[in-house]
Amino acid sequence: MPNTSARPKHGRRSRRRRRGDPARDELVSSSLQSAQQCLLNQDYGTAFVHYLLVLNLAPEFKDFAQESFRFTLFKWAEELDSVGRIQELFDCYEQALEILPADEVILNSMGEHLFRMGFRDEAAGYFHKALKLRPEFPEARENFYRVANWLVERWHFLMLNDHGRNQKYQQAIQKAVQSGCSTVLDIGTGTGILGMCAKQAGAAEVYACELSKTMYELACEVVTANGMEGDIKILHKKSLEMEVPADIPHRVSLVVTETVDAGLFGEGIIESLIHAWHHLLLPPKSNENKFGEQSATGRVIPAGATVFALAVECPEIRRHHRLCATQVGGLSMAACGEIHSPVSCSSEPEESVEPYTTERLSRLPGGYTALTEPFTALTIDFNNVQELEGLSSREVQRIQLPVTQQGELDALAVWFQLHLDEESSLSTGPQEDTCWEQAIYPVHSAKCFMLKPGDELIVEVSCRDAYLGLSGVAVLRGGRQIHLDKSRSWPRSENLVPNPNPNPEAELCTALACLQTNQKQSKDSCLLECSEMALLNNTDYHQSFRSALDKLISQLKGKLHSGEGAALNTDPAGSTPASDLLYVLDVSEGFSLLSLLAASQGGVKVYSSVEKSKQQEVLKRLAHSNGISEQLLEFWLNRVEDEQGMLQRPSGEKLWSAIILDCVETCGLIRQKLMEKASLARCLLEEGGHIFPERIVVHGMLVESDTLLRESAVQGLEPTLGFNISPFINQFTVPVHVFLDFSTLECRHLSEAAELFVLNLMDANSNYINREVKIKVTSAGRITAVPFWYHIYLDQEISVSSLGQNSHWKQAAVVLPEPLQVQAGDWVCLNVKLHKSTISILAHIENTHVVMD
Ligand code: 44T
């Protein structure tokens, strides 16, 4: 392969070329021929260099050679990618785009490479350009939607639509500016709204910083559109990297910021404010200068926060964080060992541990029960740098709380009040009608531990790595203490609660639990993502698979032995002769028990795609304890190096009896490349073999939901205090919303559920979806969205729904570009398209007389 660094220097030469130059013509024609020849020989690198030369010298060939040039580029880029020559790959794209700057296919492809390399911001720029050039370019559109979610997280829409929050910030800023804070820095400006409030309030100098490139660019556009471009200096920087005078000429008298997440500290506000006090802010108002010169001091909005917590029982949280089922699809889970979600603030350094998740408690299906009164876990003064600095070295604090209600302890829920100033505050509590979610600290190992009124719950509050940590560590009952979180080592100063009535049995149990846990437990514990945990707890799903697999396997075994008169050997210990074995492949993503369900019938060799070694250990332990021979369980990914080899046959002469495909993502979308995988799987099945699932029926409903609208786009000028923000941020609106819980989504149903389309995984035909579906409106309203979900048919009779109460799947919804006003009795025509794995839906009211037939 040629080295592209030996490429001709083009650019200038093309501009200087003269028409009718015979030497040039000859060079062009011979290079073109060479390019074509190299292309035929699949020597893409050389072909690419020749094409570059041709198109630089003779731009009139652009139309003629465009297709082949693109093809060559993509092939050559593929090769460079596969051998890790990434810089050269991007050089080639840049050269190609110098020649064809408006080629949307090349732009889109460049974006794809960037995205894969993790350059999401840059990738977004290319997808955006490609889309501007051809708005109907489906690949670029799909790619853009994918990055839009990364670049501009959905909560930006919620926050900007939260008029109450915006107004409170505006008033607090106005008051501060009017009382003399004339120089302002907005840390984490987002779209620039707080900075604009400061300017509007009359601040003499306003600075703003934003670490995300996309948000920074957006803020610049917004500020310009609101006529403040000369008035607010925006920096694309993390505040921690800013200094005086390089970035701002002098220290400011006011910092405004809303860099807080549901757990308050997750966006690094403590570190940012410590840095700001040391480097960017005027000194705080101290007792000595309280009555002195106002403008010489600095302050922060918000001035501080109070963090509240509450112990809750919540089955929905429970099933996402710990194993609740004892039997799954007929398998006993007794031997599986410690399994829980990676969400934990335990001190054990486990991989990918995050301290909390977030949920809107009021929207949790099945609700929650408060087991204690809300209590204050922490207060913090943002205007006191010593206090901020002391936070991470603060002793772990223990709080003892009376239990007020009987229930299982599933989690501690956390929210906070943000004190903007002395008078005004915002609350992120579960009862408030705000955009905020609460932070959830799940309790892992108190399996089925019932709290009772009269108990005292001991909660530890810590501040580690600038995160707030909370855990329920023990319960005091009848003078005894019962440890809850087994994986934590109890501190030495343990005897702080006297034990007046020692119970030797309980003592022994506690001692045993500690012995078992301190070193060994954390090593053996297996972490599963919340969605994998919920899947494992989804007993209906496993039972359905068990029945469908059992049915298929007995059918195939019947066939195998029919006519032979041989006795069926269904001994799960694996004494079936190899030639009689059936082969099942489970290509589910992440942790899956399905291979074991297939193996438990005996006479079946199963291949699991579980990758992580701890998860493989769990499967092996479960196989062993359920009487399945270890020889009948193999891990496919230990055998195949690359993913392309994933769907192959078990051995030369064998084909698969069943292939289990994972078809729906937890977020509610169809998995990418599902249909490609299904076609491959079809070729690898033995006669009578089966793909699970065989068919997916997509259902949807017409709904009116303002909540979905608020999450998808900024609604006009009013919520954003009259500032013109919506046209800019709404460029990042995506039409498909994911991770919805349809059962608790605030919405009005305007129709019955209807079938949108069917994907048949066992049959290649009929899967090109572009259909019209007519749905009758049952109540008048504005259709704003079409939520959709799946009925997943394992075989003709057995199906699982992605909507049910125990589902580990969430739902998705298409939000219509414009709400559609309808009356009861109207017929709505939905134009439903599936492109790759992306569903798009357009809706219009059907002309009544057409519908009659
Ligand atoms: N999400 C809340 C967290 N930044 C809000 O780049 C509430 C989540 C939430 N810039 C549902 C609802 C809600 N220097 O654009 C971001 C971020 C930027 C900084 C410069 C720094 N030191 C930082 C730190 C962060 O600030 C912006 C806002 S962070 C707000 C987080 C609606 N789910």
Asked whether residue 159 is assigned to any structural domain, the reply reads no
Q: Residue 595: which CATH number?
A: 3.40.50.150
- Cβ atoms 408, 451 nearer than 8 A: yes
Mutate to test the pocket of ligand 1, among 239, 259, 363 (most ligand atoms within 8 A of CB): 259
DSSP secondary structure code for residue 626 in this structure: T
Tokens 């970035």 belong to 247
pLDDT at residue number 818 = 93
Cα–ligand 1 centroid distance for 784 (angstroms): 28
CA distance 674 to 685: 16
Instruction: Give the contacts of 507 (CB within 8 A, at least 6 positions apart).
Output: none
Q: Which domain holds residue 643?
A: 538-557+579-662
Distance 189 CA to ligand 1 centre (A): 9
Q: Which amino acid is at 112?
A: E
Same domain for 458 and 361: yes
Residue 766 lies in a domain: yes
Domain endpoint, select from 662, 685, 711:
662
Same domain, 743 and 644: no
Query: Is any ligand 1 atom within 6 A of the Cβ of residue 268?
Result: yes
Pocket perturbation via mutation, ligand 1, pick of 152, 163, 211, 738 by most ligand atoms within 8 A of CB? 211
> Which is it for the CA torsion 494, 497, 498, 502, positive or negative?
negative
Check whether residue 656 and residue 710 sit in a common domain. no
Ligand 1 pocket: which of 154, 155, 158, 426 to mutate (most atoms within 8 A of CB): 155
Kindly state the helix (H) or strand (E) to which residue 414 belongs, with its residue range.
strand 411-419
594 in a domain, yes or no?
yes
Helix (H, G, I), strand (E, B) or coil at 436: coil
288: left (phi over 0), alpha (psi -120 to 50) or beta: alpha
Same domain, 656 and 713: no
The per-residue pLDDT for 6 is 32
Residues 652 and 701 in one domain: no
Tokens for 166? Answer: 């915006």
* CA 212 to ligand 1: nearest atom: 6
Which pLDDT belongs to residue 645?
Answer: 56
Does residue 206 contact residue 195 with C-beta atoms inside 8 Å? yes
Rg of the chain, C-alpha, whole Å: 31
> How many whole angstroms from 553 Cα to the centroid of ligand 1?
52
Is the Cβ atom of 229 under 6 angstroms away from ligand 1?
Answer: no
The pLDDT value recorded for residue 639 is 60
| CATH code of residue 759 | 2.70.160.11
Smallest CA separation from ligand 1 atom 27, residue: 188
For residue 12, the model assigns a pLDDT of 38
Q: How far is the CA of 252 from the centre of ligand 1 (A)?
A: 21
728 shares a domain with 770: yes
CA 591 to chain centre: 18
Roughly what angle, to the nearest 10 degrees, separates helices 138-151 and 120-133?
140
Q: Is the dihedral of CA 177, 180, 183, 188 positive or negative?
A: negative
Q: How far is the CA of 341 from the centre of ligand 1 (A)?
A: 25
Same domain, 477 and 551: no
Structure confidence at residue 653 (pLDDT): 62
Predicted pLDDT of residue 449: 77
User: What distance lies between CA 838 and its chain's CA centroid?
Assistant: 17
Q: Are residues 346 and 474 in the same domain?
A: yes
Residue 269 Cβ contacting ligand 1 at under 6 Å? no
Residue with tokens 């969605």: 531
Chosen domain end from 662, 683, 713: 662
644 and 704 inside one domain: no
pTM of the entire structure?
0.84
What is the mean pLDDT for each group of 10 consecutive residues in the chain (853 residues)?
35 47 89 94 96 93 93 95 92 96 96 90 90 90 83 86 95 97 97 98 98 93 96 98 97 97 94 97 78 73 98 96 93 90 71 82 94 96 95 87 96 97 96 90 78 94 84 88 63 36 46 42 75 95 97 88 52 62 93 96 92 93 94 79 58 82 94 89 91 97 95 90 95 90 96 96 80 96 98 97 94 95 97 88 80 45
Let me know if residue 79 belongs to a domain. Answer: no
Domain tally, the chain: 3
CB burial readout 668-704, b (16+ within 10 A) else e? bbbeeebbebbebbeebbbeebbbbbbbbbbbbbbbb
Residue whose CA lies nearest to ligand 1 atom number 10: 188
Q: Could you tell me if 187 and 259 are in contact, meaning their C-beta atoms sit under 8 angstroms apart? A: yes
Q: Could you tell me if 621 and 716 lie in one domain?
A: no
Same domain as 726, residue 588 = no
- Residue 45 pLDDT: 96
Ligand 1 lined by 257 (C-beta under 6 Å):
no
Residue at 180 is within a domain:
no
Q: What is the pLDDT of residue 464?
A: 75
Show which of 639, 662, 685 is a domain's final residue.
662
Q: Are residues 475 and 602 in the same domain?
A: no
770 domain-assigned: yes
Which of 234, 267, 434 has the most ligand 1 atoms within 8 A of CB, as the residue to mutate?
Answer: 267
Residue 629 within a domain: yes
Q: Is 829 left (phi over 0), alpha (psi -120 to 50) or beta?
A: beta
Contacts of 82 (CB under 8 A, 6+ apart): none
